[in-house]
Structure formats: structure tokens, C-alpha cells
Amino acid sequence: MVAVAGGRKKISESTIRRLSLYYRVLSVLEKENYQTVSSRELAKREKLTPAQVRKDLSFFGSFGTRGLGYPVSELKKQIGEILGLNRVWNVALIGVGNIGSALVGYKEFLRQGFRIKVIFDNDQRKIGSNHKGIKVSDIQNLEQDLRENNIEIVVIAVPATVAQYIVDDVVKAGIKAILNFAPLNLKVPPDVFLRNENMSMELEYLSFALKNLQDGKGTIK
């Protein structure tokens, strides 16, 4: 797999997102016992154009066979490797409120190789308690515990008011990848990858659509 390390320096956010989508569709196709899949079928399932699919996949070194398409399992494996899903990642979760508790029980994470190894909270009633087999640690020991557990990705599920302080400590501990559920824009140094998961933004998209785009008043590109 040459992929990105092979010289190409820029990859767009939307390409990475499409790779995740291909990975999902290929997983479904694999379960449905498909051996091969055409760029047309992949495109249809993702609402993309076949040309876009072929371009994406050739960019990553995968070429379908005319008339046969792409081998499902092999392509899934390849894309999984590109996405870093062929290994287990050590994840820490900070905050076990509503969202945090749900994430601990979210089986999809582990299925993709994201293993929540440590959980932190600052609530004395929660510290020491057990969530799906993981003991809740005191956030006071954050830096040390992140290092000792070789944590690579941190998930932030704390109230917005304290999120920036906590992220500053996470960055100090050398973490380079953060998934943030707190509804605010966190500041991190340029060498730290930060993704925001904002569930009400998707609802806003829907309210926007309901308000503005029904009855032929407009469309979303």
C-alpha cells in the first residue's frame, strides 16, 4: 500500500470521509457474501458518481478489473489499513456523564479497533466505580495515567465550561489526537489532530432543511 506516505502530501478531509464510507459499504457487502463490487454499485450505495469512486480508489492504489469490479474483501482490507483500522488504538475517555456513559457502551468503537482503556472523571462519587469493566480514574492523575496506558486518542465528554482546561492538560501529556463532544471550539497546537462531534449541528441541518427547503423552495447541493 503506497497511499499517502508514498509521496502525495495533501489529502482532503472529504476524501478521508469517503474512505470511511467505502469501508462501511464494503463491510456490508462482505457480510452479504459479495465477492466483487463495481464502481457503479459502490457509487450508488454512497450517492456518489462512479467517476469519483474510481478516482478515489485509484488514488490509493486500488484498481478494479473491467467487467468484474473490485474484490470486496481485499478492497475492504486495503482501505481499513489506510484508515489505520488493522490494529487496536488505545483510547481514553474523559467524563462519564450522559454522553460519556453511552460511549463506553458503544460497541461500534471496539469493533473498529478503538478500545477505551481508561476513563477519567472529577466526581468523587464516580471515581473508583466500574463502567463496563473499566474503572473510573481520578482526573488528578490524568497526565500520568495517559502515559502509563500508552493512550493515543482522547475522547472529551465533559461540560463546555471545563473542556479547554482539560484539553490543555491532555496536550501537555503528549496526546496528538482528540475527539471532542463538548459544544465549543477547543484550541490545540497545530500538531494535534482535533475532531468535533456536535450532535445538535446535525439537528440544525434538519431544522434548516425543514424550514427552508421544502415545497420546492430550494435544494441542498
* Residue 31 Cβ vs its own copies, minimum distance, rounded to whole Å: 10
* Residue 213 Cβ vs its own copies, minimum distance, rounded to whole Å: 7
Nearer CB in complex with its own copies: 64/95: 95
**What Rg do the C-alpha atoms of the chain give, in angstroms?**
20
**Which grid cell sits at 216?**
420546492
Number of residues written out for the chain: 221
Nearer CB in complex with its own copies: 142/153: 153
Could you give the angle at the alpha carbon of 87 between the alpha carbons of 84 and 93, nearest 5°? 85
Euclidean distance between CA atoms 75 and 2, whole angstroms: 14
* Residue 184 Cβ vs its own copies, minimum distance, rounded to whole Å: 7
Residue linked to cell 462482505: 30
Nearer CB in complex with its own copies: 166/186: 186
* Residue 109 Cβ vs its own copies, minimum distance, rounded to whole Å: 6
* Residue 84 Cβ vs its own copies, minimum distance, rounded to whole Å: 4
- Burial tier of 166 (Cβ tally within 10 Å: 0-12, 13-18, 19+): buried
Nearer CB in complex with its own copies: 66/217: 217
Could you give the angle at the alpha carbon of 31 between the alpha carbons of 27 and 33, nearest 5°? 115
Nearer CB in complex with its own copies: 2/67: 2
The four Cα atoms 148, 171, 109, 139 give a dihedral, to 10 degrees, of 60
